[in-house]
Amino acid sequence: DVVLPLLGRDKAVEMQGVFLEEAELRHAADLPFVKELCRVTFSVREFNRDQFEQVLALRMRTAQRALSVLAKRAGVAHSFRNVRGSAISLLVETANQSDITIFEPARMIASAMSSRRYKIPAMQRIAVAVSDLESGGRALLAASHLASGEMNRVSVLLTPSAASDTSALERLFKELLPAPPGRIRTIPDYGVNSLIESAQAEGAAMLVVSATPELMDPGTLQLLRQRVRCPICLVRQWGENVQ
């Protein structure tokens, strides 16, 4: 439901699902056993390779079925593949081959493998980062579609340089958005940690960012995967035919 509005009415869109088996998790599964610690009760249980394989297979089938249902509802073509390797390397490769990439942070994946589930906030607020007007425009369009045009749900996170040109921002909002965004916040600096903290303060159900060279740096992507609490939408290109 969060992703569906992004597809719009363009039936030429092709969705590609990529289920990642991280090399690090594979290594852990090859150990005699792994101890799982519950942070709530502090109880410890053994998590052996067979259990790991069962959970992983279930997650993959669930992801494949969810993608199939979403593609059918949107009326678009789709494909699904399972890959193994380094999470960040595969994420960079996938994002560079796609116009838009949506991925879950590591904590959501870990939560899905335990009894504690990630809960989508009742108010599905979309946070969108704008560091410059050109790439920020693509991210704003994606955020507007994700919010189904309900701009009261959109929080714009501005870097100091983007926030300094208020007249250009106003023109950009009027040109691209159906209404002014519900919230506008200037983040303290250009660092990814400030961006993450601002998105979390907004209670975002989705963080939309432009796939700029700075953001596609492996270290930056690693921080996003580790610290962000919601799915992340990387926008590399916004097709002119998306309505």
For residues 223 and 141, state if they share a domain: yes
Q: Which helix (H) or strand (E) holds 50?
A: helix 49-74
pLDDT at position 241: 40
For residues 218 and 136, state if they share a domain: yes
Domain, as residue range, for 142: 125-235
Which residues fall within 8 angstroms of residue 49, CB to CB, at 6 or more apart? 29, 30, 31, 33
Strands (E), the chain: 14-22, 34-37, 44-47, 77-85, 100-103, 125-130, 154-158, 183-186, 204-210, 232-235
Q: What is the CATH number of the domain that holds 145?
A: 3.40.50.620
pLDDT per position as a tens digit, 140-157: 999 999 998 999 999 999
For residues 93 and 132, state if they share a domain: no
| Domain final position from 48, 66, 100 | 100
Q: No. of H helices and E strands in the chain? A: 9, 10
Please, what are the averages of pLDDT over each run of 10 residues along the chain (243 residues)? 63 80 62 52 60 80 89 85 84 88 72 49 82 90 91 95 92 94 90 92 94 92 91 83 42
pLDDT at position 242: 44
**Does 243 map to a domain?**
no
**Does 87 map to a domain?**
yes
**Does 118 map to a domain?**
no
**Does 173 map to a domain?**
yes
pLDDT per position as a tens digit, 50-69: 777 787 888 889 988 988 98
Strand duo 44-47 + 34-37: pairing? antiparallel
**Does 116 map to a domain?**
no
Total count of domains within the chain: 2
For residues 135 and 93, state if they share a domain: no
Give which of 213, 194, 99 is closest to 145, Cα–Cα: 99
